[in-house]
Structure 1
Amino acid sequence: MKKIASILVILLTISNLAIVGQPFAEPPKTAEIKIKTSAICGMCKKRIERDLGVSKGIVNSNLDLKDKVVTITYNTKKTSPEKIKQVISKIGYDADEIIADQKSHDALPDCCQKTSTMHVD
């Protein structure tokens, strides 16, 4: 009986050492960026937030329609500000200095295009 107990203690000690000796996975590093857009209405907000939400590396996004700025939290190992701006451009909206992809912009509803006047949703 003492042998079994001794063997269990040794095995538990070895397994604990193995676990403690392994480095823990580093949590993903996130950053926040604010990007000026050409969004106009609530439909624009929904579209941008939805499409960013399914984009690789995006943790969270929130578009403030008053100042037309989208605040994005993203995983720095999976994406970058440049890639995020390209995603917004491909949706059909300006993203800071990146002009909206023309084909995507033209496919937006009339009320969401840059030449449209702001309206209430």
Structure 2
Amino acid sequence: MKKVVLGVAILATIGLTSCKNEAKKDTDVNNAQTEQTSTPEVAMTTATFGVRGNCGMCKNTIEKAVNEVEGVASADWDKLRKQINVSFDDSKTNLDAIHNAIAASGYDTDKVAGSEEAYSNLPNCCQYDHDMEMSLQGEVKADETSNH
């Protein structure tokens, strides 16, 4: 009987110690979250400009190139309109760096011609017409562009 009572007492002590530690961990996590949210938010700059391309693989490559630029928060290339919407911290990067990153991946922007070497290494479906219009406005029909 003494062994049972002793066992229960030990388990109760372990349980209380464990609960105290969990409560302390929760408090630490809550304090960390409060500290993170109290920092000032960075103002983001958004821009939209033309980028030539054909297909979903182009979209992946273009967006990846932009997202690898330090300070870029988001990039979304519109296949039908041939344009990209970019959100970035202008204290860390600028539009020239973003245009150059896209061009280095082989794609023309409305400001910088794509690298010919990178372009030649793109898959056939991604080798776009260098004369295609960019930043198309108004209603754009899918059959007006390449269907890749």
The answer, yes or no, to whether TM exceeds 0.5 is yes
* Root mean square deviation, CA, Å: 1.9
1:119 corresponds to: 147
Residue 38 (structure 1) aligned to one of 42, 48, 52:
52
1:12 corresponds to: none
Aligned length: 97
State the AA in 1 paired with 2:84: V
- Superposed CA deviations along residues 32-82 of structure 1, whole A, max 9, x for unmatched, are 111201111011001111222222111000011110101000011010011
Q: What does 1:1-16 align with in structure 2 at a 5 Å threshold? A: none
Gaps of 5+ in 1: 1-23
Residue 73 (structure 1) aligned to one of 69, 78, 87:
87
- CA separation in 1, counterparts of 2:42 and 2:60? 26
Q: What does 1:38-117 align with in structure 2 at a 5 Å threshold? A: 38-115=52-129
Gaps of 5+ in 2: 1-37, 131-144
CA contact (8 A) 1:37 1:95 kept: yes
State the AA in 2 paired with 1:82: D
- CA separation in 2, counterparts of 1:39 and 1:97? 15
CA contact (8 A) 1:28 1:77 kept: no
- 1:119 offset after TM fit, Å? 2.9
1:15 corresponds to: none
Query: Based on CA coordinates, which of the two structures has the bigger radius of gyration?
Result: 2
